Chains A and B, each alone.
Chain A
């Protein structure tokens, strides 16, 4: 089983739609969680951290379920500019891991007019 798994997509949605991405992780020792956004031919950029209590940043909501080892990202009222690949990222941060990040392969989102 891969350490961080995501549906690769692509998700093709119309402007204004609500879209949800899911991610599962295999290592229960994982300590912190993030969603990154990567535009075509660009570097990954931090979108938001994910906390157990859930957190919201404008149209974006992230949720974490430690019991199920499951992370989600919800985007409301999709914009054309939301088109990108969304990476689910986990920080093991234990023992010899030195806080290295484990990246999912990403879910591609395409928002159409």
Chain B
């Protein structure tokens, strides 16, 4: 049981390049989330999904797109990377249930030059 995994662990992009971050979970969780964490800002929600085929915007969605084609995978896309998107990206998942909390992946460090 690997829990939540993220690919890649680290990436350097040039401004304007695109990339996709992959999140996978093997816990059969319905809900999945993408966050970014910046110094002094805490964790901020980018997009989330409450089930296969559904996605919704979080607090800071601009510049990102997501897809949830399979229940176990949640993809975060950057179509045209900007230096402001330099951050650590965390994926999380949780089961359905009012009192349930979230379980995080190890993070992806992204540097946009």
Contact = CB atoms under 8 A, between A and B. Distances in A.
A71 B99 CA distance: 16
Interface residues of B, number: 23
Contact of B103 (A41, A46, A93): A46
B98 A43 contact: no
Contacts of A101: 101-102
Given A43-B90, A104-B42, A106-B42, A98 B98 contact: no
A42 B103 contact: no
B34 to A, nearest CB: 12
A89 interface: yes
Interface in A67-113: 87, 89, 91, 93, 98-101, 103-106
Contact of A105 (B42, B48, B105, B107): B42
Contact of B31 (A98, A103, A105): A98
Interface in B92-108: 94, 98-107
Nearest to A43: B104
A21 interface: no
A3 to B, nearest CB: 10
B111 to A, nearest CB: 14
Contacts of A99: 31, 94, 98, 100
A44 B43 contact: yes
Contact of A32 (B48, B90, B98, B107): B98
A109 B103 CA distance: 22
B2 interface: no
B45 interface: yes
A98 B99 CA distance: 12
B102 A31 contact: no
Interface of A: 31-32, 34, 41-46, 49, 87, 89, 91, 93, 98-101, 103-106
Given A43-B90, A49-B99, A98-B48, 6 more contacts: A32-B99, A34-B101, A44-B104, A45-B104, A98-B50, A99-B94
Interface of B: 31, 33, 40-43, 45, 48, 50, 56, 58, 90, 94, 98-107
